[in-house]
Chains A and B, each alone.
Chain A
Amino acid sequence: MSILLITNKTDITTDFIVKSLTEKNLSFYRLNTEDIGNSIDINLDFDNGKYVLVDQGKDFSLNLLDVTSVYFRRPEVNENFNDLTVGERNFVRSELLFVLEGLYKLLKKAFWVNTVEAIRSAENKVYQLVLAKEIGFQLPKSIITNVTSDARAFYLNNKERCIIKPIKSGLVAGSDEEGVIFTNEVKLDSQNIERIQRCPVYLQSMILKQGDIRTTVVGNKIFAAMIHSQEVVESQVDWRKSSLPLRHTKITLPADIIEKCLQLTKKLNLNFGAIDFILDEDGNYIFLEINPNGQWAWIEKQLNYCISDEITTLLAEKQTC
């Protein structure tokens, strides 16, 4: 048996998996993909059917066909090509990324947490909302639109209390800027509403909260945390905005919510998922989204949840959900 961890060196979350695997004395290799082309060589010999990674730094060779389980986290590619033009750097980056994609295909028979295809499919928030609604989760009133009249009507129907959030991710990245967009309350007026035409907006009704619930699903196990986001003003709409860590407590989800969470991960072919809810003032669990490759290590550390243990158990036992 061989477990492969696909990530980068700075991924602290994977350190938890490494520690758990080491404690369990399980055989693994941490592939920090940015080292391909530096200390890691890749050799895919199609004529002889030999597909090998060689880690020069560790004097270690991995036959890719021996890999039985994969933990997929945060692969990156080498960006240090200062001697190349921008176009040449983009070309090389693309080549490296495609080799990685090929590597994933070679490993398709292994058990994955999670497969790249499942992650990409599950990341789409439109798809998530459709499935969540089918399963029977309560949702905020939601609209994605670039039609001003529809946005205006939605806003008025929700008593002018709405939030706006990114449809894909909040990251704004360029060569010389780094920005982030959180969930925010939005006030629509005759001036700004015209500016939704060029790019659809994702609006939801504003829900008053007791707190935010982060549910980590690993296989059939659930680890639920209440994030006391309402104790700090800056985190009331979006808990990630808090500049200091928020109070977290363990919470037991109602049985029907647990069942729906497991249905959702199964429908999305996920062996891991981080599901966010609002716990509203009436005690209802309002589904927001699922992140198929979301963070969990801080939850483990804060609440002594054995999430890494559960992930490594899954990798070792090669179970499918």
Chain B
Amino acid sequence: MKPLILDFKLPRLEAENPITYNYDPTSSLNVVSVNGLTKPFIDLKFSDIELMTKTRAERERDDDAFLSELGTKTEAHRERDDPSNNLLELETKTLQARERDDQ
């Protein structure tokens, strides 16, 4: 007899974050490359994200499915004043984070 609470289990989904960051031991921060410059992930602005995603789009120009997904995400991000906050929120909030048991 399955405990009732388990009826409410949902699959845990990884965040759809288009930005890849890497840990830099020198600065002790997670960083991204924006137009050849290294920048802390937490300092990303919308213009950086646009720059990064457009660069990726240029590299994968023939992949129509990728470009159309990119457009959808960019639109979603444009709904707010500082859409870079959305990426950060995705990375730091419980639902999407890789943490074990926190809220």
Contacts and interface: CB of A to CB of B under 8 A. Distances in A.
Nearest to A290: B103
B97 to A, nearest CB: 7
Contacts of A159: none
B3 A198 contact: yes
Closest 7 CB pairs of A and B: A169-B101, A199-B3, A178-B12, A9-B23, A30-B28, A298-B89, A195-B4
Given A15-B30, A166-B5, A302-B85, A179 B25 contact: no
B59 interface: no
A246 B79 CA distance: 11
B98 A295 contact: no
A298 B40 contact: no
Contact of B29 (A18, A74, A178, A241): A18
Interface of A: 5, 9-10, 12-13, 15-16, 18-19, 22, 28, 30, 32, 57-58, 74, 164, 166, 168-173, 178-182, 184, 186, 192-199, 201, 240-241, 244-245, 274, 276, 289, 291, 293-295, 297-298, 301-302
A179 B3 CA distance: 15
Contacts of B2: 195
Contacts of B3: 195-196, 198-199
Contacts of A194: 1
Nearest to A185: B8
Contact of A180 (B7, B12, B25): B12
17 contacts: A22-B27, A169-B102, A173-B100, A179-B12, A181-B9, A181-B10, A182-B8, A182-B10, A184-B8, A192-B4, A195-B3, A196-B3, A196-B4, A244-B86, A294-B103, A295-B92, A297-B42
B7 A192 contact: yes
B11 interface: yes
B11 to A, nearest CB: 6
B7 to A, nearest CB: 7
Contact of A10 (B7, B23, B40): B23
Contact of B92 (A13, A30, A241, A244): A13
B4 A201 contact: yes
A12 B103 contact: no
Contacts of B103: 169, 240, 274, 276, 289, 291, 294-295
Given A291-B102, A291-B103, A15 B41 contact: yes
Interface of B: 1-12, 23, 25-30, 40-43, 76, 80, 85-86, 88-95, 97-103
A180 B10 contact: yes
Nearest to B10: A180
A295 B1 contact: no
Contacts of A5: 28
A295 B41 contact: no
A18 B28 contact: yes
Contacts of A301: 42, 85, 88-89
Nearest to B21: A12
Contact of B100 (A19, A169, A197, A298): A169
A244 B16 CA distance: 11
B5 A181 contact: yes
Nearest to B85: A301
Contacts of B101: 168-171
A28 B97 CA distance: 25
A19 B42 contact: yes
A13 B103 CA distance: 13
A132 B77 CA distance: 39
B1 A195 contact: yes
B8 A245 contact: no
Contacts of B88: 12, 297-298, 301
Given A193-B4, A276-B103, 12 more contacts: A10-B30, A12-B41, A12-B92, A19-B43, A74-B99, A179-B12, A186-B4, A194-B1, A198-B1, A244-B76, A295-B92, A302-B85
